[in-house]
Amino acid sequence: MRTSTSSKRANRSKAANSFLAATLFAIIGLNGFSPSTAHAAGDVLPGWGSWWLPPNHSAHGPGIDSLFNWIFWITMVTWILVTIVMVWFMIQYRARPGVKKARFTHGNSKLEMGWTIAPAIILAILALASKKVWDDYRYSPTSDDPNRAKILVIGQQFKWNTVYPGGDKKFGKYLLFPRPTDVAWQNPSGDVSKPYTFAGVPGPAYLPYKDAVNAINQYIEQVNPLGKDFYDEDGKDDDWKNALAREITIPKDRPIEVILSSKDVLHDFFLPNYRVKLDAVPGMRGHIYFTAVGPTSAQREAESKKSYTTDELIAELKDQAASGEMTITITEADKASGAEYDTRARQYLYRDGKKQTIIRDGKIITPEVAQKLKDAGVKQVTAYLPGYWELVCEELCGQGHNTMRGTIRVVDNAEYMEKFEKGSAGSGSKVAINDSN
């Protein structure tokens, strides 16, 4: 009887060990097939792969993704093994008739040393690896590259302001706002010799305090929303007037420095596809260094452009939910495939008395709109992924936080220089931002 019982226990022990080993090897094996491996190469995985990390398009991104994978699988394996052991112990040592009650001990010193030292070693290795990845990101060697492209981003509720330094690659001073005691307003023309009148006075000091505060708020809203120093020579050629909520254009394969601050409250600048994330803090400057490795926006649009049947497009859009919205481009062949098309307005119309718009050329197409096109008789649709990537605020910055989004457009360096650095005269210097708002 004792032999039979011992044999059963041995078999149960072997089965448990085999199950634990199989689980461990299966999970470790999955690490080699993690979706982010493909994402590091810029691929978009369909189906189940879209729940993982978004495609990476930055030079430092693979290091962050690798660290994420290691931490994820180490914690996942540990959690599964601990859970299995707990369940096994609950079953193996459950209360049963004829079984003695548990006897409490002070534990096994060797075992306790083992499960203390092993996590300590793992955590030390992860800490060293994290420091290397963090240093490559926050203290990149490209921070001293005189050829780096500089972009000033100022957050405000609930949009992003983007400023480019112009040909001299130097920023002027920003976030310098009037005070009630100032005797003169800054002249937006930049001519210090010409007096400037706002709210009927040459400066807020000429008004009672409450009126001065109201006048300052109006001046900021109407004349100088970014607190620009109009008399600073370095800022004369800054591209800042259309800063609010515009696309952020960055060059491909060239070091980029994003100089970050905030006009009002705490924001968080997050580019998921570039593994870039940093808080924008009022009164402080943040510096982010990264290099976009492609594709450019034009390449993305060209490579993803494809002709679909409406059924294929509906399925693609449902599968494409986590990898980007698709844009419709209406070709001559598509026009002849069914629904009524308004050539002047470049839009599909319903075939009814009202002739309402289904969708216009160049607009985002959703599964619901694709279904409407199918119902209206459209058989063929050409669509592509738009040539931009997402910018979001990762800080709860107020009731309009969900609207604080932007887009990133990537262009060749020659196009970037032509648009934002024409007449470049030098490497420039660091931006000056007021630290006492």
Helix (H) or strand (E) holding 79: helix 61-92
Residue 204, pLDDT above cutoff 50: yes
Q: Is residue 395 part of a domain?
A: no
- Do 207 and 281 fall into the same domain? yes
Check residue 149 and give its pLDDT. Answer: 95
By the 8 A CB rule, do 54 and 269 touch?
A: no
State the pairing for strand pair 306-309/255-262.
unpaired
Would residue 101 count as lying in a domain?
no
Q: What does the pLDDT read at residue 234? A: 92
- The residue with greater pLDDT, 40 or 191, is 191
Average pLDDT, the chain: 83
* 93-106 pLDDT, tens digit each: 888 888 777 777 77
pLDDT interval class at 369 (50, 70, 90) = confident
**Number of separate domains in the chain:** 3
Provide the percentage of residues in the chain whose pLDDT is more than 70.
Answer: 82
Q: How confident is the model at residue 33 (pLDDT cuts 50, 70, 90)?
A: very low
Q: Is the peptide bond before 158 cis (omega within 30 degrees of 0)?
A: yes
Phi-psi domain of 198 (left: phi exceeds 0; alpha: psi -120 through 50; beta: other) = beta
- Quick check: 249 and 108 in contact, CB under 8 A? no
pLDDT at 358: 84
In a domain, 265, yes or no: yes
End-to-end CA distance of the chain: 84
Q: Is 378 exposed, middle or buried (0-12, 13-18, 19+ CB in 10 A)?
A: buried
Between residues 92 and 180, the one the model is more confident about: 180
> What is the 3 state secondary structure string of 89-129?
HHHHCCCCCCCCCCCCCCCCHHHHHHHHHHHHHHHHHHHHH
Beta bridge partners of 258: 151, 288
Residue 404 placed within a domain: no
> Which helix (DSSP H) or strand (DSSP E) does residue 232 occupy?
none
Instruction: Examine the fold and report which residue of 384, 404, 425 is the final residue of a domain before the chain moves on.
Output: 384
Beta-carbon count within 10 A of 34 CB: 19
pTM given for the model: 0.78
Phi, psi of 303 (to 5 degrees): -70, -25
Tell me whether residue 178 is in a domain.
Answer: yes
More confident residue, 324 or 356: 356
Is 245 among the domain residues?
yes
Question: Quick one: pLDDT at residue 40?
Answer: 36
- Count of beta carbons in the 10 Å neighbourhood of residue 408: 21
**Residues 272 and 169 both lie in one domain:** yes
Residues 158 and 204 in one domain: yes
Same-domain check for residues 130 and 15? yes
pLDDT of residue 351: 64
Q: What are the tokens at 421?
A: 């650095």
Mean pLDDT, rounded, for 226-252: 93
CATH code, domain carrying 269: 2.60.40
Does the pLDDT of residue 41 top 60, yes or no? no
Ranked by mean pLDDT, which of 25-39, 44-58, 76-90 comes out on top? Answer: 76-90
Per-residue pLDDT, averaged over 363-390, amounts to 87
Specify whether 280 is located in the same domain as 380: no
Domain that holds residue 72: 2-94+109-141
Is residue 137 located within the same domain as residue 155? no
In a 13 Å sphere around the CA of 42, the CA atoms on its Cβ side amount to: 13
Q: Which has the higher per-residue pLDDT, 50 or 3?
A: 50
Provide the percentage of residues in the chain whose pLDDT is more than 90. 49
Residues 6+ apart with CB under 8 A from 201: 207, 215
What's the pLDDT score for residue 353? 59
Q: Decide if pLDDT at 273 tops 80.
A: yes
What is the mean pLDDT of the segment spanning 144-167? 93
Q: How far apart are CA 225 and CA 277, in angstroms?
A: 25
Give which of 427, 389, 419, 325 is closest to 58, Cα–Cα: 389
Same domain, yes or no, for 86 and 218? no
